[in-house]
A and B are shown apart, each in its own frame.
Chain A
């Protein structure tokens, strides 16, 4: 399935709005969308909602043989799944460029920053280690997938509990969750990525772009940082040239955002821990809102109302005079009718009229037919009066224009409201044969 392409007027509108420091959803330049973190029933399952972007992460573990080069360390495996659910452009099984890019960024952000202590995942050196697998499923694509995916991944890792293991000599026993409480992973720090989108060759910057903004952006800068202000990964894509000051400014903004997000994350983890301790049921089902209308509902958006009245008066004054309203339906000539608002229809009429704007609707078939023939030449001036008159079009170098005789009134009456082109074409063919 193909994604609907972005129209030019949408693109121009977005860019113009960004130049005026306005965003589609009314956010400020450095604002993040509303973020919501919820957890699933089992440990290691986490949902992150960033505005309308929705992402699910699941952590699972398995005992495997370690890598030859690192017999003492556990293995981390990351996978971002671009589900066809998220966007019609995503296809199942196809390794698109975006998929490769996101996977690579997540790996660099989490694996290369060594945020998880892999040595604690070792069970028997050289023989058995834990392989931790993080699967991130993108459920809804409304921009900024990378940030949502990184938050979901690190939250799921913090939430996950691996089974306890007992070693007696050569015997390795994996205890089930009922026998012994599972153990959390040892996490050194929590890297979180913050995305900055640039427009107009780096002049304008927006944090947390939504899907529309992503489509018109020139380039993207992704900074992964933890709350201790350490940069874990930084990547600039799109080929924009950034100045050193811009990058420094972005990293300062990122540190502020990361500390806010980390706080939210920790709060969510604490709440979930409390809920589980109390023995309440937790899961996706519980986080569903009950007895509340959620579908087809929009939140109230605030509208900027400063100097609304003055600007409105200004616009009204500068606007052109309202077009003269013609009462409808109008019957200028028997057989010719006009419905709808707009200027008076003047094509093909025997009486002369001054304006030549197109009529809104036209009842008669051959009015359209004459319109079609007329469209081939330039249309400007006054209409001829009377039959057979030639209309002079000032800057046209074409031959003289001949107005076809309007059809007989009784024939015209047969062409009723459903003026089909076929009827008009048929009528004109008949006339031409004559």
Chain B
């Protein structure tokens, strides 16, 4: 499951994944993109607290644990991005009044962390056997000072770039499910990035499926 992409237009770091690593969670997966590594665990459908229950759908909770210290606002915003993507792809109405919990533990951050979270989340949900209408995958790209687009940037490349964008793309129709951007860029650059993503996403799907 490891692949090195040699093409000049879309370069992804070596990515790898392992499922069913942990015995307690219903589904677990670890995803690494180069040096960036994330461990994900999914529990569900399980009992939900009355205060959080929804009468016709399952309640999805995403928890992101940083390596050092307690979760802060940054983790909360990443949790929201992942949760919205998962809610869009999971068939939540099949398990009303239940809870689905997804826990993501950061192992090492070397750039493209949000896309790594998304990929690990998808693999963990699959491993747990939760019903989904589509799979999704995340790719990050950065626009550096020259206007060049770099996919799957490392931490150093992210720091030097003027914009960083992460997109979550579904597997069936290759459409954008979630986008999270930081920095300044033009509309034209955004559209270019999405086209790039579609390329890189097809590479990811060809390897993970």
Interface positions of A (Cβ within 8 A of B): 1-2, 40-42, 45, 52, 54, 56, 58, 60, 81, 83-88, 92, 133, 135, 137, 139-142, 281, 283-285, 288-290, 294-296
Contact = CB atoms under 8 A, between A and B. Distances in A.
A142 B108 contact: no
B99 interface: yes
B22 A83 contact: no
B20 A296 contact: yes
Given A52-B23, A142-B24, A288-B32, A41 B108 contact: yes
Given A284-B30, A285-B35, A85 B68 contact: no
Contacts of B69: 135
Task: Tell me which of A1, A85, A289 has the highest count of chain B C-beta atoms within 10 A of its own C-beta.
Answer: A85
A92 B65 CA distance: 10
Contact of B41 (A85, A92, A295): A85
Contact of B43 (A1, A58, A137, A141): A1
Interface of B: 1-2, 14, 16, 18-25, 28, 30, 32, 34-35, 37, 39, 41, 43, 46-47, 63, 65, 67-69, 99, 101, 103, 105, 107-108, 110, 127
A137 B64 CA distance: 13
Nearest to A133: B68
Given A60-B68, A135-B68, A285-B37, A140 B107 contact: no
Task: Tell me which of A60, A133, A294, A295 has the highest count of chain B C-beta atoms within 10 A of its own C-beta.
Answer: A295
Given A40-B108, A45-B108, A284-B107, A139 B39 contact: yes
A52 B21 CA distance: 9
A427 B100 CA distance: 43
Contact of B37 (A137, A140, A284, A290): A284
Contact of B108 (A133, A284, A290): A284
B83 to A, nearest CB: 14
Contact of A92 (B32, B39, B63): B63
B22 A139 contact: yes
Contacts of A42: 108
A281 B65 CA distance: 25
Contacts of B43: 1, 84, 88
Contacts of A281: 35
Given A60-B68, A83-B103, A135-B68, A295 B20 contact: yes
Contacts of A294: 18, 20-21
Contacts of B1: 290
Contacts of A2: 46-47
Contact of A85 (B2, B16, B25): B25
Nearest to A292: B18
B22 A85 contact: yes
28 contacts: A1-B46, A1-B101, A2-B47, A40-B37, A40-B108, A41-B37, A42-B108, A81-B65, A83-B65, A84-B43, A84-B63, A86-B24, A133-B68, A135-B67, A137-B67, A140-B22, A141-B24, A283-B108, A284-B107, A285-B14, A285-B34, A285-B35, A288-B18, A288-B32, A290-B16, A294-B21, A295-B127, A296-B20
Given A1-B101, A88-B43, A137 B65 contact: yes
B18 A289 contact: yes
A295 B99 CA distance: 25
A58 B68 contact: yes
A-B complex: 3 closest residue pairs judged by Cβ atoms? A295-B20, A285-B32, A85-B41
A285 B43 CA distance: 24
A58 B28 CA distance: 21
A295 B32 contact: no
A295 B127 CA distance: 10
Contacts of A81: 65
A412 to B, nearest CB: 38
A83 B47 CA distance: 18
B35 A41 contact: yes
B24 A140 contact: yes
Given A40-B108, A135-B67, A142-B24, A1 B19 contact: no
A54 B22 contact: yes
A283 B2 contact: no
Contact of B30 (A1, A41, A140, A288): A288
Contact of B105 (A40, A133, A137, A288): A137
Nearest to A88: B43
Given A85-B22, A139-B22, A40 B107 contact: yes
Contacts of B47: 1-2
A141 B34 CA distance: 28
Contacts of B127: 295
B24 A88 contact: yes
Contacts of B25: 85, 140
B107 A56 contact: yes
A62 to B, nearest CB: 10
Nearest to A49: B21
A238 B43 CA distance: 30
B24 A87 contact: yes
B120 to A, nearest CB: 12
A244 B136 CA distance: 60
Contacts of B107: 40, 45, 56, 284
A284 B32 contact: yes
Contacts of B99: 1
B23 A142 contact: yes
Given A40-B107, A84-B63, A88-B46, A283 B24 contact: no
Given A58-B67, A84-B63, A283 B37 contact: yes
